[in-house]
């Protein structure tokens, strides 16, 4: 891919806009069935829907379906743009084939075009991936986008930018965007993606924090190459030469050196669950005295993990599959790894501790606003809650279960519909407390009334229930 100059950018943007090559435009052209099939990497239904030869069909076939297209149609779809000279396509025998993936991406009202390497595995055809493969918008990219706290910032850093997707999404709320990578092709494609979208991106070459020595940022995001694999792993988009989960450890440990006071570092991560150790304790040694939250969304045993990533590399069914499998398992064994945790870490650069938990349940997306909210509450709630006038949040429902005809329920669960969609089992006193939180009486007044009602000393009720009330406020069941 060559540098995208102003005239090439204008030409490409005009061609895309003219053809309606947008997320909605493509969805409408393909229809629900072909769109869903394409999301499963199946192109046949989409080929049937794109036979008109107009500019939109040409673009979809070229970039999304990776089909050869007659050069006359490509010239018509991109008037005045030399896609061959830009390194986006190649021509041979009157036909044109894409060398790169160039696709629309949208988030609400905002719309972009992103340049990355071609999606592997369409229609089940797998070829070995080049070591410097540049990943397009993956489900992991989307998870990080959805995790990112919605703050405006002076400066942000996107480590391992790949095609530049994270920075692109930050562009309308961050003044100076810096992005780093070690893969020269990624650096070129990130620059091209930024140029194509009129985004001013400072792209730098180097490992982790090396290219930003002495600099600080309000926001650091990274979807790093976190795959825990034996030495010699050659796919730069997912592996490094670090031992075990060392890449994630380094990113987390060194984040405070590069964050402003109160700055945020958010990453997707894999961590090893080492025999005889709690993974929470391991991660706590990385976040040390900073406020942090680690959420394990999934835990795989070592064989599931190895299979996942061998398949990702297209090696399932290859002659070396079982030997690679065995070598990988041996490596994990040597490091006493009994499982691998997959999730996310948010570090807020203020004094505090780590909250670490496994939460494999469905959550609201984007979760970023909730992450910010939860930190604000954890850090900002007064020590004494008795003066607060709390209100139960709109999304809380109460579920009771018990024997038919029983006078009292056996269990009462309060469940949130939003954020982490938490569920908390409460007793009748706490359920009564939450039920009375309409902003009228203070927390102290409600708990005193409940003490009276249950014939218990107020001090006991306060010491039993205030910690639980605090938890309900932090988790967003109660607002103040």
Name 391's bridge partners: 438, 479
Regarding 199 and contact with ligand SAM (CB under 6 A), the answer is no
Question: What is the DSSP annotation of 94-152?
Answer: TEEEESSEEEEEEETTEEEEEEEPPPTTGGG---PPPTT----S-HHHHHHHHHS----
Regarding 186 and contact with ligand SAM (CB under 6 A), the answer is yes
Task: List the structure tokens of 104.
Answer: 């629309």
In the complex, least distance from residue 226 CB atom to ligand SAM, rounded to whole angstroms: 8
Contact between residue 349 and residue 262 where contact means Cβ atoms under 8 Å apart:
yes
If one counts every other C-beta atom within 10 angstroms of the C-beta of residue 120, the result is 19
* Cβ neighbours for 368, distance < 8 A, ≥ 6 positions apart: 146, 147, 148, 149, 150
Candidates 159, 354, 426, 462: give the one binding ligand SAM (CB under 6 A): 159
Binding mask 228-247 for ligand SAM (x = CB under 6 A): --------xxx-x-------
Nearer to ligand SAM, 210 or 304 (CB): 210
Chain centre to alpha carbon of residue 241: 23
Task: List the structure tokens of 157.
Answer: 């850093």
Candidates 4, 38, 83, 144: give the one binding ligand SAM (CB under 6 A): 144
User: What's the rounded Cα separation, in Å, for the pair 47 and 40?
Assistant: 14
Contact between residue 59 and residue 103 where contact means Cβ atoms under 8 Å apart:
no
Task: List the structure tokens of 434.
Answer: 């939450």
Q: What is the DSSP letter of 192?
A: H
Nearer to ligand SAM, 188 or 348 (CB): 188
- Per rule CB under 6 A, count of chain residues that contact ligand SAM: 24
- The residue with its CB nearest to ligand SAM is 160
In the complex, least distance from residue 186 CB atom to ligand SAM, rounded to whole angstroms: 4
Question: By CB under 6 A, which span of 217-225, 340-348, 370-378, 412-420 interacts with ligand SAM?
Answer: 217-225
Regarding 476 and contact with ligand SAM (CB under 6 A), the answer is no
Candidates 156, 161, 346, 443: give the one binding ligand SAM (CB under 6 A): 161
Nearer to ligand SAM, 221 or 414 (CB): 221
Q: What is the DSSP letter of 441?
A: S
In the complex, least distance from residue 254 CB atom to ligand SAM, rounded to whole angstroms: 12
In the complex, least distance from residue 134 CB atom to ligand SAM, rounded to whole angstroms: 6
Candidates 57, 101, 117, 181: give the one binding ligand SAM (CB under 6 A): 181
Q: Which of residues 102-141 bind ligand SAM (CB under 6 A)?
A: 135, 138, 141
In the complex, least distance from residue 408 CB atom to ligand SAM, rounded to whole angstroms: 51
If one counts every other C-beta atom within 10 angstroms of the C-beta of residue 16, the result is 22
Regarding 270 and contact with ligand SAM (CB under 6 A), the answer is no
If one counts every other C-beta atom within 10 angstroms of the C-beta of residue 452, the result is 11
To the nearest 5 percent, what fractions of the chain are helix, strand and coil? 40, 25, 35
Supply φ then ψ for residue 124, to 5 degrees.
80, 5
Contact between residue 83 and residue 93 where contact means Cβ atoms under 8 Å apart:
no
Supply φ then ψ for residue 406, to 5 degrees.
-65, 145
Regarding 225 and contact with ligand SAM (CB under 6 A), the answer is yes
In the complex, least distance from residue 225 CB atom to ligand SAM, rounded to whole angstroms: 4
In the complex, least distance from residue 162 CB atom to ligand SAM, rounded to whole angstroms: 3
Candidates 58, 223, 349, 443: give the one binding ligand SAM (CB under 6 A): 223
Candidates 25, 162, 244, 263: give the one binding ligand SAM (CB under 6 A): 162
Regarding 183 and contact with ligand SAM (CB under 6 A), the answer is yes
User: What's the rounded Cα separation, in Å, for the pair 234 and 276?
Assistant: 31
In the complex, least distance from residue 212 CB atom to ligand SAM, rounded to whole angstroms: 11
User: What's the rounded Cα separation, in Å, for the pair 35 and 87?
Assistant: 27
Nearer to ligand SAM, 244 or 476 (CB): 244
Nearer to ligand SAM, 121 or 382 (CB): 121
Binding site for ligand SAM (CB under 6 A): 135, 138, 141, 144, 159-162, 165-166, 180-183, 186, 207-208, 223-225, 236-238, 240
């Amino acid at each position: 891919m060559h540098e995208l100059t102003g005239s090439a950018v204008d030409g490409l943007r005009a061609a895309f806009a003219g053809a309606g090559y947008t997320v909605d435009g493509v969805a409408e052209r393909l229809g629900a069935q072909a769109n869903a099939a394409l999301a499963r990497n199946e192109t046949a239904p989409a080929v049937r829907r794109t036979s008109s030869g107009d500019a939109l069909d040409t673009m979809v076939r070229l970039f999304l379906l990776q089909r050869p297209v007659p050069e006359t149609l490509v010239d018509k779809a991109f008037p005045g743009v030399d896609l061959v000279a830009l390194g986006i396509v190649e021509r041979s025998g009157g036909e044109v084939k894409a060398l790169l993936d160039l696709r629309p991406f949208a988030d609400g009202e905002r719309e972009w075009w992103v340049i990355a390497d071609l999606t592997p595995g369409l229609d089940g055809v797998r070829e070995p991936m080049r070591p410097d493969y540049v990943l397009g918008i993956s489900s992991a990219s989307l998870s990080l986008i959805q995790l990112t706290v919605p703050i405006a910032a002076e400066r942000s850093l996107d480590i391992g930018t790949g095609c530049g997707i994270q920075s692109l999404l930050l562009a309308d709320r961050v003044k100076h965007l810096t992005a780093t990578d070690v893969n020269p092709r990624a650096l070129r494609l990130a620059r091209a993606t930024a140029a194509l979208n009129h985004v001013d991106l400072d792209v730098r070459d180097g490992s982790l924090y090396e290219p930003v020595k002495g600099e600080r940022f309000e926001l650091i995001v990274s979807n790093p190459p976190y795959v825990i694999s034996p030495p010699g792993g050659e796919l730069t988009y997912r592996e490094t030469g670090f031992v075990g989960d060392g890449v994630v450890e380094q990113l987390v440990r060194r984040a405070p050196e590069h964050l402003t006071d109160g700055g945020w570092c958010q990453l997707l991560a894999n961590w090893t669950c080492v025999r005889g150790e709690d993974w929470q304790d391991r991660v706590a040694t990385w976040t040390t005295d900073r406020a942090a939250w680690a959420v394990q969304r999934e835990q795989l045993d070592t064989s599931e993990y190895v299979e996942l990533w061998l398949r990702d590399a297209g090696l399932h069914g290859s002659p070396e599959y079982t030997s690679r499998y065995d070598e990988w398992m041996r490596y994990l064994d040597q490091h006493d790894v009994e499982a691998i945790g997959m999730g996310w870490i948010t570090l807020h650069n203020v004094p505090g501790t780590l909250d670490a938990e496994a939460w494999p349940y469905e959550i609201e997306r984007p979760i970023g606003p909730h992450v910010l909210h939860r930190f604000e509450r954890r850090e900002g709630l007064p020590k004494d809650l008795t003066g607060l006038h709390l209100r139960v949040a709109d999304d809380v429902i109460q579920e009771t279960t018990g024997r038919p005809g029983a006078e009292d329920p056996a269990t009462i669960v309060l469940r949130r519909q939003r954020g982490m969609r938490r569920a908390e089992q409460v007793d009748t006193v706490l359920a009564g407390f939450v039920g009375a939180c309409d902003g009228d009486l203070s927390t102290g007044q409600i708990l005193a009334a409940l003490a009276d009602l249950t014939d218990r000393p107020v001090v006991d009720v306060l010491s039993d229930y205030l910690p639980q009330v605090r938890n309900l406020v932090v988790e967003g069941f109660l607002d103040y």
